[in-house]
Amino acid sequence: MKLAVIGGGSSYTPELLDGLFERVSTIPVREVWLMDQNEERLGINVAFSRRMAKRHGQPFTVHGTTSMREAVKDARYVITQIRVGGMQARISDEKLGLRHGIIGQETTGVGGFACALRTIPRILDVARAMEELAPDGFLVNFTNPAGINTEAVVRHSRIRSVGLCNVPIGIIMDTLKHTGGEIGDLELDYVGLNHLSWVRRFLFRGKDITEQVIETFIEHQAEEEWPNPATRSNMVTAMRRLGMFCNYYLQYYYSMDSVLETLKNKPKTRGEEVVEVEQALFSKYQDPNLKEKPEELGKRGGAHYSTAAFMLIEAVENDLRNRQIVCVRNGGAVPTFDDDASVEIPAIIGKHGAVPIPQPEPAPVIRGLMQNIKAYETLTVQAAV
């Protein structure tokens, strides 16, 4: 079985492979193809990935290529993690908003819009190559903005696909730190769009623990999540009034003024910080004695990224029909939204892909914002295509 990673020169690639190591007994990969246009970073990652695979006694070979078509050909799974324009484009997106006195962020607002316009055509190139060269393949998209890119594929390609984000699995793993138990013990009534979502209920072994989860988060994690006191106050108030757990990214809607103040006062944008982190990471990756992902990778962000990817692939490959939260074609699951809209909700994952679970209609207090942002996302896809 062949697995292709488009954007294989990413600093995330060792994290991705580490997740594959944990599930290789149930995902019979024999070839991993890393594709990237940046030959220097690609070469570093291919060599490091081979050392990691050898260290763990893995049964697959690692290949590198600058040809997307070569990587995709006959692949059963294709993971996209591309950044069109590189990190400098992200920094430009972030500064674009700040220059005009509005929020500058990678995936939301004007920054996310600019990123989407660059990225959608390239994601569709991958999907069309799969239609020709790997028609039975499955596309797993991590590329930001994930929801918009997923909708582009849904509306303009026949290939099976889902979008993934590490936010849902992050919420699950953080909750399990306090409850104990396994991932299957916790069920989230989760609804929204990518980077615009709410958890209406947490059920732990069938018991509703929503209020407990919210208050535990407020006590132990809110200060770290939202260091600005005004932002934190607004988000805590929102969660308590809604009675719902709020995605981290809702700060860009519920506390715009204080978030903008924070971004303006930072000496560097997040993209500029990431450039420094990645320079250190690739310096590490080049060490011929390094055979495990370095601890410094945690500074890059994206915790549980590989867990989300290979939980999904494992479920598709083995027809597990388990419940996971993904970006998926709505298909009537969320009332009042178009069938072809991408939504981030629980779905049953099996050999046919992701089947969205029908949801109660979102309450008016969150539905209006969802509809507003979904209209923007759909129009962005139209503009890019």
Which amino acid is present at 369?
L
Strand-strand pairing, 196-204 and 160-163: unpaired
- Between CA 208 and CA 348, with CA 180 as vertex, the angle to 5 degrees is 60
Contact 173, 159 (CB under 8 A): no
Q: Which is the catalytic residue, given 12, 77, 249, 285?
A: 249
Residue 126 has phi, psi (to 5 degrees) of -65, -45
DSSP 8-state symbol, 318: T
Taking each helix axis from N to C end, the angle separating 364-384 and 146-156, rounded to the nearest 10 degrees, works out to 60
Q: Strand, helix or coil at 334?
A: coil
- Reference 194, options 331, 337, 373; nearest CA is 373
Strand-strand pairing, 31-35 and 245-246: unpaired
Number of other CB atoms surrounding residue 207 within 10 Å: 9
Q: Is residue 188 within a helix (H) or strand (E), and if so which, with residue range?
A: strand 186-193
Contact 333, 358 (CB under 8 A): yes
- Reference 307, options 5, 9, 21; nearest CA is 21
Tokens 């006191």 -> residue: 229
Helices (H) and strands (E) in the chain, counts: 15, 13
Is 249 labeled as catalytic in the residue annotation?
Answer: yes
CA 314/CA 329 separation, integer angstroms: 20
Q: Using only the alpha carbons of the chain, give its radius of gyration.
A: 20
- Between CA 144 and CA 154, with CA 148 as vertex, the angle to 5 degrees is 120
Query: For the chain, how are helix, strand and coil distributed in percent, rounded to 5?
Result: 50, 20, 30
144, 148, 150, 151: CA torsion to nearest 10: -170
Catalytic residue ranges = 249
